Structure 1
């Protein structure tokens, strides 16, 4: 909308997408970010002079980004080089291994070889159910504004009534998986998708099995790492006129005559605007991090509803003894005990471990001696108060190494390895306690309780992985699109211009993030 002045707070995926789409529609957009470059959680960590992905590592739902780039007059392939992965991930339980593939027939055959024909048949039924749930919720929930259960049923319509009545919201994911798989290892494997939203498979609804369909529909490997995606969206925004101001933290969101009117930076500079899009965890707004005038713009989130955090090691190291793929999961021997410890606010004594081998190609090959790894252990979001002691860090590191060594993987982590703890994440993302996914998806109503694009203050909008429709890179992008669409629709309704649809409808050292601007 020509003449509309918008300030976007935060350069995560949601903020970058909102800024690019609004600028493409003729808005005057300035994005302000406290860090030195774009990305937010989609960040790079420098280790021995090399950038290593320190945030999300799995790129799915490419079509969402193709549509966003097209809506802004660009093409994703002009800014990024990527290729589809044939192998989705490698999973290990001690010496036992199982790969999943982009080809569902190959995955089915691998499961049959691993656990028998009955489990392969269970996988077929599980895959069909995951797809049904995704197809049912994609347009009326994931790609539309936040809703309530009754409105969701109305959006799904008469044809969608059978799906609406069977969204699997009242059964836990873990319990539902028992209806498809008798092998507890396969229950672990597919229950792990709950952690994609920082949740427990024992507490989240079975609806989340749709995440398995998202991943099975295609993973893309981005040359140079996932953080390049943030740079690509930033470049898209620049081409459409977005101004980016880094190392410019916001002290306060300004409110005049009952509506958002701009921001005040920590430096004291005021940036006037007719609308503000906040790409921060809504918990920060509710906690007063952006001033008392907007504190009641969102519903408060109690700490008990926080999603998981993580202990994340980024390293350049030599590996031996296990044939790493790009994405690897080493499962604990006792999944219930692991998540019981996390629920009690403790690290698991024998954790599951995720390893992203960033330099591995789709065949598991690497041409480098010291390869770049990101290693993740789930942790409670208790990143407030005193940071972990060196003894606690050493214990966690030893437990992580013990977990991967059971599968034969040997890691020699150099002193240059960077560890990011929940305490570090809490410092980077205030008022979260280090939670990486906003609120956990526990209970049938969790998805409906997430903050939507609109807030209680006119002209103030929220976006990011902590808002509707949920956590993850594609969900954050969809939230950015929704925030932009809501802003334009609201302004059009109060102006003389005719409302129009959004084009391209998408209907161990402490951590240091590398400057990527």
Structure 2
């Protein structure tokens, strides 16, 4: 499509052909890719089968209240600072952010509680009082190592296109190989934590970071300790929740020229002459395209849900290698007996047994429970009356077999028993919304309900995630199931990487897919 652009020398009007791109899926990766491509002058159409943007960043109605039903922790603010800045906008002006003083409140029983704070010294003092000076010293050493892991991987891995192990070694260079070895890529997270913590409760607390990637701490690599540094660098709450962040990115993409079509399902990626030629919708409309960015789980692509011609562009994730799913309960409830923070975690009595049950395809009889009290700030203060709560327990990704009513009821009973053991009781109002692995499978087909793509089990799992480019010319991948991995900021990064790869292949961007370097971001991380 030819379009007029500003007059050139001598007042002559020049024309330029704009590439036509269809982005499938308005999850955060698709939204970021659509925004980046629209800002670069491409003709962008974003298709989303739901009625609103966000994908997993969604809310549900509970008795007339919007309860966040997806991700609730916002970190790596610098990613979105850069996304908005590249589009000529300001994150702070578009989204109301409040820094968290308390990262999370943790409980093992009614008498065992520990808060982690944004301030390392405050956390060390709390750990000293909870478990002794030796554990507090271990915590400080752990923070130092987690920061080193993050610094080692941020530039060569998080910011760039998918590397192979050899590529990663080349990117860090000779000076970085020592750091790459020190991050213990071949050790498990659980095993590595033993070098810092003797108290099993603290190993359980910091081992939980593996679940941020949908993985077991007993099988995930030690490199996932970088999540601890990511949280330490800043956690924020967002007015309107993370679904509100998705809406802000969608609005900005539309302002910058992307056409966003909700209630429009992509049925097939059209292939002609050995490359992408467009997208066919469920209504039969065909949208021509020079390239397609697919923001969907790669399992859906490999299962042929976007057409038989495109399915060979991705390998399926075997059920045994899927990440965790969950059973979630979105409630309006009156809480009593425990001083909930915005983020609270109630740990099971036997962490290893919990993950062994999940590995065997069973719901754990004594689950760890995460509770997001969405009306509470650091102080724990809240308005009177029922409050909005998201309660989550980990579950196996076996969504092809729906849980029975009895199994769901048992899961809720076990959850309430764990909360009660820590002193918390909940009196729920009518209208609660429960989502099981089968429900997540319905929302995100062909995944079995897995929420994070492939589990990060073993050091090679990271390199099994596909990159943005595929074997099918013109098809690019984005989302939490591709590089650099799951989580809101990582998925957003995948959208940036996919857009930059596409632009480079069209001759519209630099050969390198690395985004421009950024200065220090308020509340974020300094980038070299």
TM-score by length of 2: 0.93
Q: What CA distance in whole angstroms lies between the structure 2 residues aligned with 1:462 and 1:94?
A: 44
- Give the corresponding residue for 1:25: 40
**Deviation of 1:166 (Å):** 2.5
Q: What CA distance in whole angstroms lies between the structure 1 residues aligned with 2:388 and 2:203?
A: 30
- Give the corresponding residue for 1:481: 496
State which drifts further: 482-491 or 414-423.
414-423
**Deviation of 1:499 (Å):** 4.2
**Deviation of 1:167 (Å):** 2.9
1:341 aligns with 2:357: yes
- Give the corresponding residue for 1:317: 333
2:126 equivalent among 72, 94, 110: 110
For the 8 Å contact 1:68–1:504, the answer to whether it is kept is: no
Q: What CA distance in whole angstroms lies between the structure 2 residues aligned with 1:345 and 1:179?
A: 31
**Deviation of 1:300 (Å):** 2.3
For the 8 Å contact 2:97–2:236, the answer to whether it is kept is: yes
**After superposition, what is the alpha-carbon deviation per residue over 1:361-388, rounded to whole angstroms, capped at 9, x for unaligned?**
1211112411000000000000003x21
- Give the corresponding residue for 2:66: 51
> What is the RMSD of the two structures over their aligned residues, measured on CA atoms?
1.3
**Deviation of 1:491 (Å):** 1.0
Specify whether residues 500 and 146 from structure 1 end up closer, same or farther in structure 2 by C-alpha distance, changes over 3 A only.
Answer: closer
**After superposition, what is the alpha-carbon deviation per residue over 1:187-232, rounded to whole angstroms, capped at 9, x for unaligned?**
0000000000000000001011001100111100111222110001
3-state DSSP class of the match of 1:388? coil
Q: What CA distance in whole angstroms lies between the structure 2 residues aligned with 1:134 and 1:498?
A: 27
3-state DSSP class of the match of 1:255? strand
Specify whether residues 506 and 484 from structure 1 end up closer, same or farther in structure 2 by C-alpha distance, changes over 3 A only.
Answer: farther
3-state DSSP class of the match of 2:377? coil
Question: Where does structure 1 lack aligned partners over 5 or more consecutive residues?
Answer: 508-517
For the 8 Å contact 1:332–1:338, the answer to whether it is kept is: yes
1:505 aligns with 2:516: yes
2:430 equivalent among 411, 415, 418: 415
**Deviation of 1:163 (Å):** 1.1
3-state DSSP class of the match of 2:310? helix
**After superposition, what is the alpha-carbon deviation per residue over 1:28-60, rounded to whole angstroms, capped at 9, x for unaligned?**
100001111100000011111111110000000
- Counterparts of 1:53-202 in structure 2, within 5 Å, are 53-95=68-110, 96-202=112-218
**Deviation of 1:255 (Å):** 0.8
3-state DSSP class of the match of 1:408? coil
**After superposition, what is the alpha-carbon deviation per residue over 1:451-495, rounded to whole angstroms, capped at 9, x for unaligned?**
110111011000011110011000001000000000000111xxx
For the 8 Å contact 1:478–1:506, the answer to whether it is kept is: no
2:28 equivalent among 13, 29, 32: 13
- Counterparts of 1:220-369 in structure 2, within 5 Å, are 220-369=236-385
3-state DSSP class of the match of 1:433? coil
1:463 aligns with 2:478: yes
TM-score by length of 1: 0.95
For the 8 Å contact 2:159–2:514, the answer to whether it is kept is: no
For the 8 Å contact 1:2–1:28, the answer to whether it is kept is: no
Q: What CA distance in whole angstroms lies between the structure 2 residues aligned with 1:503 and 1:149?
A: 18
Question: Where does structure 2 lack aligned partners over 5 or more consecutive residues?
Answer: 1-15, 519-528
Q: What CA distance in whole angstroms lies between the structure 1 residues aligned with 2:517 and 2:500?
A: 11
**After superposition, what is the alpha-carbon deviation per residue over 1:396-428, rounded to whole angstroms, capped at 9, x for unaligned?**
000000001111101012331100000000011
3-state DSSP class of the match of 1:93? strand
1:219 aligns with 2:235: yes
Q: What CA distance in whole angstroms lies between the structure 2 residues aligned with 1:150 and 1:167?
A: 16
For the 8 Å contact 2:211–2:217, the answer to whether it is kept is: yes
**Deviation of 1:503 (Å):** 10
Q: What CA distance in whole angstroms lies between the structure 2 residues aligned with 1:2 and 1:29?
A: 13
For the 8 Å contact 1:67–1:506, the answer to whether it is kept is: no
4+ aligned runs moved over 6 Å, structure 1: 500-504
Q: What CA distance in whole angstroms lies between the structure 2 residues aligned with 1:129 and 1:502?
A: 28
State which drifts further: 49-58 or 75-84.
75-84
